[in-house]
């Protein structure tokens, strides 16, 4: 929800948010959600044409993301709450018309943790596997057990093909992934070739095959293999992404790759150091839809080289020099344009066709920019970091020049750039979050 916090921090939300926003479509093809909010937006979007939806149940600090986008199908999936149950609504990104809805889903009973501010909430992920798009609804908690099995801590995953139909669709697969009872916050995310499930301090990662529901476990003791483990210590590892030929493992002391397929020491980006085993000590941070973001020591000074690697081959797709060293592992705002050309990761931006990269980490004279979304033409949007004397300001960045430009005061940047629309999150007039989807001009 980092992107939503940034986008909702400025601008006039108008009226009509919160409860009772627009009519609810009860069947596929039903009425769209009426647009009632006037959002000040960049000129590429028409703030008179679109639709909106409020998710009033979303807490201020939740863990699961309540929306997902399947760009190939042009679908926005929103998780609605009905009493103690949840319903997934798959809507047309342009009109808001319901493509399909699901039967009410009762997630596993959530944990009660004394003193925790963050609330563990259900989430939605979109995953493309073997050329087909899927939606996964997931939540962590205790299942009810049965006559033979005691209740246990699980992450439950309900899988729907994005081309499902009907107002009460049932999942193609219901998967219950056991997790350690006292482990940290759970995450389910697009692994690139399946769903990747993990916990912050657990001792394994788990993949879920979206086509079959098959589950595979990867203990932290899984070895990256040669040549890295022959040059530096291999103690434990973490799965950063999934490929058709195996998991992308990141060694805890440096190095990453798919065991037996490719190794980071053989795909060093231009400008990175190879002195004194440096090529074996690169750090894999996180993956975005088949692309892995990693950092390397620069050969000539204390900066870092940040690179995007194709997860299937390890090939360097783009890179840039940058002083940023503290990108978080899970919550960095990231985005991939719908045509797959442009990739954003916090203050980093990459053109995967030209191989060019940009760094907006800030300096003694410039503010850091957190990038949120990018369209197929290379127009990116983000928030310039504020300080004690200035609030964060919306900016646009051209991927052809790398030049940031402030947006007019009060304008809101889209937190999603879809093929036919942009998604915005102005302040809701009530609890939860408000999503507004405006058509491109």
> pLDDT of 285-296, one tens digit each?
989 999 999 999
Average pLDDT over residues 198-225: 92
- Condensed to tens digits (0 to 9), the pLDDT of residues 49-77 reads 999 999 999 998 888 999 999 999 999 99
Q: Confidence band (pLDDT; 50, 70, 90) for 390?
A: low
Sheet holding 256-258, edge to edge: 237-243, 246-251, 256-258, 262-263
* SS3 label, residue 36: coil
pTM: 0.89
In contact, 332 and 286? CB cutoff 8 Å? yes
Taking the domains of the chain in order of start, what are their residue ranges? 2-200+330-440
The most confident of the ranges 3-17, 63-77, 298-312 is 63-77
Judged against a pLDDT cut of 80, whether residue 297 lies above it is answered with: yes
- Condensed to tens digits (0 to 9), the pLDDT of residues 232-259 reads 988 899 999 999 999 999 999 999 999 9
Average pLDDT over residues 294-314: 92
CA distance 29 to 34: 14
Judged against a pLDDT cut of 70, whether residue 388 lies above it is answered with: no
402, with CB counted inside 10 A (0-12, 13-18, 19+), is middle
Phi, psi angles (nearest 5°) of residue 413:
-80, 150
Q: How far is CA 86 from CA 78, 106, 121, 137, in A?
A: 10, 7, 11, 10
For 212, how many CA atoms within 13 A lie in the half-sphere containing its CB?
A: 7
Judged against a pLDDT cut of 70, whether residue 167 lies above it is answered with: yes
Supply 169's token pair.
């669709």
The dihedral built from the CA positions of residue 75, 78, 83 and 85, taken in this order, carries a sign that is positive
Q: Confidence band (pLDDT; 50, 70, 90) for 341?
A: very high
- Condensed to tens digits (0 to 9), the pLDDT of residues 396-424 reads 999 999 999 999 988 999 999 999 999 99
How many other C-beta atoms lie within 10 A of the C-beta of residue 429? 18
CB-based contacts of 201-209 (< 8 A; 24+ apart in sequence): 205/238, 205/239, 205/247, 206/177, 207/239, 207/242, 207/247, 208/136, 208/157, 208/159, 208/175, 208/177, 209/129
Among 227, 317, 321, smallest CA distance to 271 is for 321
Average pLDDT over residues 108-112: 81
The residues pairing with 219 across neighbouring beta strands, listed in sequence order, are 204
How many other C-beta atoms lie within 10 A of the C-beta of residue 217? 14
- Condensed to tens digits (0 to 9), the pLDDT of residues 362-383 reads 877 888 899 999 999 999 999 9
């Amino acid at each position: 929800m980092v992107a939503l916090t940034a986008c909702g921090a400025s601008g006039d939300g108008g009226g009509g948010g919160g409860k009772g926003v627009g009519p609810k479509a009860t069947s596929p093809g039903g009425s769209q959600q009426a647009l009632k909010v006037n959002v000040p937006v960049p000129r590429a979007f028409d703030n008179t044409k679109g639709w909106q939806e409020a998710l009033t149940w979303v807490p201020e600090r939740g863990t699961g993301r309540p929306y997902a986008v399947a760009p190939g199908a042009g679908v926005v999936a929103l998780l609605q709450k009905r009493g103690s149950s949840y319903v997934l609504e798959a809507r047309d990104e342009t009109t808001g018309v319901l493509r399909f809805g699901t039967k009410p889903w009762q997630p596993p009973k959530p944990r009660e943790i004394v003193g925790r501010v963050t609330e563990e909430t259900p989430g939605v992920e979109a995953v493309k596997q073997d050329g087909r798009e899927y939606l996964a609804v997931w939540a962590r908690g205790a299942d009810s057990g049965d006559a033979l099995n005691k209740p246990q801590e699980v992450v439950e995953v309900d899988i729907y093909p994005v081309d499902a139909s009907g107002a009460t669709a049932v999942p193609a697969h219901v998967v219950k992934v056991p997790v350690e009872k006292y482990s940290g916050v759970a995450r389910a995310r697009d692994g690139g070739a399946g769903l990747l499930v993990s916990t912050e301090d657990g001792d394994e990662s788990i993949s879920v095959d979206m086509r079959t529901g098959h589950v595979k476990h990867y203990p932290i003791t899984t070895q990256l293999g040669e040549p890295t483990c022959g040059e530096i210590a291999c103690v434990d590892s973490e799965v950063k992404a999934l490929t058709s030929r195996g998991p992308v493992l990141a060694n805890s002391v440096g190095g990453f790759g798919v065991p037996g397929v490719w190794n980071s020491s053989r795909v060093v980006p231009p400008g990175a150091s190879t002195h004194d085993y440096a090529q074996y000590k690169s750090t894999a941070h996180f993956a975005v839809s088949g692309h892995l973001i990693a950092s390397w020591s620069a050969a000539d000074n204390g900066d870092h080289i940040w690179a995007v690697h194709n997860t299937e081959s390890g090939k360097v797709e783009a890179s840039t020099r940058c002083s940023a060293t503290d990108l978080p592992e899970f919550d960095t705002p990231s985005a991939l344009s719908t045509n797959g050309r442009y990739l954003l990761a916090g203050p980093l931006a990459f053109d995967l066709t030209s191989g060019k990269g940009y760094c907006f980490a800030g300096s003694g004279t410039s503010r850091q920019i957190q990038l949120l979304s990018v369209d197929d033409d290379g127009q990116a949007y983000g928030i310039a970091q504020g300080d004690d004397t200035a609030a964060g300001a919306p900016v646009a960045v051209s991927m052809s020049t790398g030049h940031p430009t402030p947006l007019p005061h009060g304008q809101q940047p889209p937190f999603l750039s879809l093929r036919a629309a942009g998604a915005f999150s102005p302040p809701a007039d009530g609890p939860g979050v408000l999503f507004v989807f405006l058509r491109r001009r």
